[in-house]
Amino acid sequence: MSDRSQDGPRTSVPRLIITQDNEFWFTAAREGRLEIQRCGECRTLRHPPAPSCPRCRSFVWDTVESSRRATLHSYTVIHHPPDPAFEYPLAVGLVDLEEGTRLVADIAGIPHEELTPGMELEVGFAEHAHGDVLPQLRRPSGGAA
Amino acid sequence: MTDGGFSGKAAIAGIGATEFSKNSGRSEWRLACESVLAALDDAQIGVEEVDGFALFTMETNPEIAVARALGIPELTFFSRIPHGGGGACAPVQQAALAVASGVADVVVVYRAFNERSGHRFGAGPPPFAYTANTDQEYRNWINPYGLLTPAQQEAFLARLYMERYGATSADFGQISVLSRKHAANNPKAWFHGRPITLEEHQNSRMIADPLRLLDCCQESDGGQALVIVSTERARDLPHPPAVISAAAQGVGPQQISMSSYYREDIDRMPEVELVARQMWRQAGIGPDQVDAAILYDAFTPMVLLQLEEYGFCGRGEAKDFIAEGNLELDGRLPVNTHGGQLGEGYIHGVNGIAEGVRLVRGTSVNQPAKAIDTVLVTGGSPVPHSALVLTADH
Ligand SMILES: [Zn+2]
């Protein structure tokens, strides 16, 4: 892949920072589930995870599983600088999940000229840097989400 | 003045810098020392009189290292502001607060780095990104998907702004052309004598769509320092004081560093609007009274967004405001007269503060013909923000 060193080039993607506040999300992702944190008091959804609800300040929370149906809110196509964890040009999207929260993930399998805010996408999962299984945006499969 | 208690009580009395280059050939520590000495010389204040420093957290030269190297015997005030360029103007606020309250008499602000020959911010996450704590936890939600640099992280906002208001890459390019025109006339600028055309901007390679290479600031080696004293003392020094009429910081709702993507409108910057409100309240003016502005230009779209957040034009109107010539030297609001960080050099916004001082003194290489009594200087976005209003002493 590269002649830069015997071990190959190293990604600059930092290792995930797993904390007591976000561990549930990464555990679910590893198992192919997209979870959204929900306030145990006022039921407001929130992402990225945080220890308390910004609306009612409750520390009580549970999660809901997302349908993984999403629409593209904004996007970029990255050309430079390249990182060995990705192939370039690399499309990355910000989506509105059907449940109402947003999510960032890379976009796979869609020609970049087709990307338009508002288009329907689906959240799948794929291996990322350091072997982490994380969300990836794709064309909707058409079948059950 | 009208608010804050410190408005008008302190002034920037000295500015000093090293050369701005791509390879200084010297240590960052030395660059810091050189720029501090140059600023003190400009103010004609003795080195041993310095009793305070206000810095960024990203500064790698601690105040005690500079104090030690320069033989500054005692410091009664030292502080550091987080969030990199977003905080660019905040150390000046710290200095003004310290001086106005009598905690210190001579406070120096500096920023010195080998950002081109050493670690480049545009190359990937900075060294501290690899520390596993809540401060860096926000990276979990962007870095693993390929958003690794500021340009990449800002691109979502720029794209949405284009979609929403019909702005184009060429509209962003206007800022690039303007900055390089001003830099071309500035001997201190890296791009001295090298103006560009809009066509060159449009032909420059894509970095993170819609941001092209010429939408991105430079990466530079260099140091810039500022000396803050009471306005009263500044009046007895060689240069006309650049009075700190307003200085503020701002964090907005659901703020995340470079990635406040979960707000209703991601192309709005409430932290900037919050700082704008403080500027006008403290200085007792509105945007119509600002004679010139130094708007933080790490990337061109942020200049358009700031013009709108500061109220120089309406939402979505920045492209037309620029096209009408308002930012030119003979326009309503001359902007980035030194060439900005796109043209002069990237000293994390602190070189822009120095240009604000020169505009108030009347000594910019691109000094507009009209009287410049009031200058707005801003820090970076979309991160926690800061800004200053510098005024002539009337
Ligand atoms: Zn709640």
ipTM of the complex: 0.94
What is the per-residue pLDDT across A78-122, written as a single tens digit (0 to 9) for each? 999 999 999 999 999 999 999 999 999 999 999 999 999 999 999
Question: Which residue from A22, A73, A104 is facing B145, i.e. has the nearest CB?
Answer: A104
Task: Give tens-digit pLDDT for B250-264.
Answer: 999 999 999 999 999
Q: Which residue has the tokens 């509209």?
A: B171
What are the phi and psi torsion angles at B259 (to 5°)?
A: -150, 50
Test B124 with A128 for CB contact under 8 angstroms: no
Closest CA to B180 of B45, B66, B343, B332: B343
Average pLDDT in the A38-47 region?
98
Chain A residue numbers touching B126 (CB-CB < 8 A): none
- Nearest partner of B351 among B99, B114, B149, B85, judged by Cα: B85
Contact between B160 and A74 using a beta-carbon 8 Å cutoff: yes
A2, pLDDT greater than 50: no
Looking at chain A, which residue has its C-alpha nearest residue B135?
A17
CA-based nearest distance A143→chain B, Å: 26
How far is B301 from chain A, CA to nearest CA, in Å?
14
For residue B195, is it within any domain?
A: no
Considering the domain boundaries, does residue B182 fall inside one? no
A89 cis-preceded (ω within 30 degrees of 0): yes
- Do the strands B374-378 and B292-294 form a parallel or antiparallel pair, or are they unpaired? parallel
Which of B124, B163, B266 has its CB closest to that of A81? B124
Cα dist. B381→B93, B155, B267 in Å? 18, 12, 11
Whether B178 maps to a domain, the answer reads: no
Query: Could you read off the pLDDT of B5-43 as tens digits, one per residue?
Result: 899 999 999 999 999 999 999 999 999 999 999 999 999
What average pLDDT does the segment B37-51 reach?
98
Looking at residue B205, what DSSP letter applies? P
CA angle B242/B244/B249 to nearest 5° reads 140
The boundaries of the domain holding residue B329 are 10-119+217-391
Beta strands B77-81 and B10-17 are: unpaired
In sequence order, the 6+-apart residues with CB closer than 8 A to the CB of A136 are A105, A106, A107, A108, A123, A124, A125, A126, A128
B320 belongs to a structural domain:
yes
Could you tell me if residue B4 is inside a domain? Answer: no
**Residue B304 maps to which CATH number?**
3.40.47.10
Q: How many domains does chain B have?
A: 1
The pTM (predicted TM-score) of the whole model is 0.96
Residue B291 lies in a domain: yes
B158 in a structural domain: no
Q: Does the CB of A90 have a partner CB in chain B at under 8 Å?
A: yes
**Residues of chain A contacting residue B139, judged by C-beta atoms under 8 Å apart:** 14, 17
Question: Which of B49, B353, B206, B28 minimizes the C-alpha distance to A77?
Answer: B206
The CATH code for residues A67-145 is 2.40.50
- Residue B4's pLDDT band, with cuts at 50, 70 and 90, is low
Q: Return the domain boundaries, chain A.
A: 15-65, 67-145
Where are the extended beta strands (E) located within A1-101?
35-39, 45-46, 61-65, 69-78, 90-97
B155 lies in some domain:
no
- CB neighbourhood size of A52 (10 A): 14
